[in-house]
Chain A
Amino acid sequence: MNEPPKEPVKYVQSHVYLPYHYVAGDYRARYLRALKDKKILGSKCSRTGKVFVPPLLNSPESFAPATEFVEVADKGVITTFCIVNIPVIGRDLQIPYVAASVALDGAALSIFALILEVQPEAVRMGMRVEAVWKPDGERHGDHEDIMYFRPTGEPDEPMESFIRRL
């Protein structure tokens, strides 16, 4: 223990441990709680009426508060997407899979979503998709409550309808 090291010290390893306590905040807490009841909530800009999902406390565009909470549909349109060919540590997904931006009906912003039950090559911008929820009694009010989205089979939407909601 007290002998001098035979080799010069080349590096020192030190571990950093930073514990955190997550506060969802007023808006995110309401959003997460509603997922348990298969409801997706957005907040409505008091000036422009645009609905943000997940809810934002103010419109970044108009700067007005978004105080009213409204429910949006659990289906929408793929606005843009990519095909993932590298595995993500901690995610047990078979590659390739599709990660997409989905603008839910009634929402001015899109959310990120996993798209399954379709061949990656068949996914298109404008494709209609719907949420696949965890069964009743298994939802906890977190993002995993929506397992993924899948095509509805409805006709595609034209790009003009979603180009401002990417």
Chain B
Amino acid sequence: MSKLRNVAVVGFAQAPIVACDEHHTAQEMLYPQVRRALADCGVERDAIDYQVAGSADYIDGRPFGFVAALDVMGSWPPRQDLHLEMDAAFAAYYAWLRMQAGDCDSAMVVGYGKVSEGSPEHVLNLQLEPYYLAAIGLDVKSTAALQASAYMARSGATDDDLAEIAAHNRAAGARNPDAQVRQAATAEELRRTPWAVQPLRTGYLPPVGESAVCLILAAEGKAEKLCSQPVWIHGLDQRAEMQALGGRDLSRSASTALAAQKALAMAGLSRADEVDLLELSAATPAEEMIVREAMGLDAKGSTRPAINPSGGPLTGHPILMTGLIRLGEVFRQLSGGAGAHAVAGARRGIAHASQGHCLQHNLVFVLGRERRWS
């Protein structure tokens, strides 16, 4: 591989995830996070070269809402800007690419959007193939249930296994002040919750939530000035697979497997369990098991590496921010800012982001406390 620049996460700020903020617009939620992230780096906004946002105007129904966000991102003096209708973790990937191209040395990545103002089940239905799938009214919960059913049939995983995974995430989320659901629940309690869409119970699904997130990236030379412990990107890869749900093996995630393999190889690692923790964008326990398996990890159980020490998406899943929050969580863990949910002695971690129905498109970051390339 040709010489790559070392790029690090140097700042992260997140609004606590809530079901509904009746008093603020998405921009009003985002502005304090941008200011906090910059203040943590000890810089003014003019220290940032490039900016990229992950959001979708369909979420809160404000035409050109992404343009209104430029004011609260501090876009002055004018800088290069990009907007993605994707999880903002993919925006971080774009920023990393721009740094590799030598276009910029620092970048601001934001994610925002208010699902409480819109109707996520209607909006996410529109991501499906329009003639056969969207038309029958499938939403993201029902496609996740199709996937869970396929996985359980192949692997033999049971309702009890799903409940155990959900309980593990709920216990972790209780220690994370930014999580939306902060009450631990036992597997037994979760297994008694009613069916949402069989085989998924309401206790196995994330709450609808909203937040606003700002993450700062910087290249070697600048990163050390902005942060006492930058968290370096050692490897990353993203893979997408076909949209047609009937055309792929829903019980597996081929794109996660390939992205993880490539990202680990880039980081000089061969196995995902060589890191200390993983933050996974899995919106159901079945998705988590599929993603774990795709990464070559034990699909259930296991105490090391730590999985979703923040509580994961089951304790807070703001659409288009969930992946960026995973990246921010790994930054917190490795830079010493994770507080009550810190994984002791963590030096390396994986952040996973996903986009689309049934894990259609997956992005894997491998991060560490030391610089990767000399």
Give A contacts to B, CB under 8 Å.
Answer: 12, 14, 16-29, 56-58, 60-61, 63, 65
Query: Which A residues are in CB contact (< 8 Å) with B3?
Result: none
Q: Does B71 contact A56, Cβ atoms closer than 8 Å? A: yes
The answer on a CB contact under 8 Å between A60 and B134 is: no
State whether A23 touches B22 (Cβ < 8 A).
yes
A20 engages B117 (CB within 8 Å): yes
Given contacts A18-B61, A19-B122, A20-B60, A60 and B76 within 8 Å (CB-CB): yes
Listed in ascending order, the chain B residues whose CB lies under 8 Å from chain A are 21-25, 27-28, 31, 44-45, 58, 60-61, 70-72, 74-76, 114, 116-119, 122-123, 126, 130-131, 134-135
Q: Check if A63 sits within 8 Å of B117, measured CB to CB.
A: no
Closest CB in chain A relative to B225 CB, distance in Å: 21
Residues from chain A with Cβ under 8 Å of B24 in the complex = 23, 25-26
* Bound complex: CA A60 to CA B131 (Å): 43
Indicate which residue in A17, A18, A23, A63 contacts B74 across the interface (CB closer than 8 Å): A63
Interface centre among A17, A22, A23, A25 (most CB of B within 10 A): A23
Beta-carbon nearest neighbor of A62 in chain B: B76
A27→B122 contact, CB < 8 A: no
Contact indicator B122/A58 (Cβ below 8 Å): no
Q: Do the beta carbons of A25 and B116 come within 8 Å of each other? A: no
How far is A12 from B129 in the complex, measured between Cα atoms in Å? 13
The answer on a CB contact under 8 Å between B60 and A18 is: no
Q: Are A25 and B25 in contact (CB under 8 A)?
A: yes
If A25-B25, A58-B31 touch, whether A20 touches B76 (CB-CB below 8 Å) is: no
Nearest-Cβ distance from residue B218 to partner chain A, whole angstroms: 19
CB pair A57–B28 under 8 Å, yes or no, is yes
Can you report 23 A-B residue pairs in the complex whose CB atoms are below 8 A from each other? A12-B135, A14-B130, A14-B134, A18-B58, A18-B61, A20-B118, A20-B119, A21-B116, A22-B117, A23-B21, A23-B25, A23-B114, A23-B117, A25-B25, A25-B28, A56-B71, A57-B27, A57-B31, A57-B72, A58-B31, A58-B71, A58-B72, A60-B71
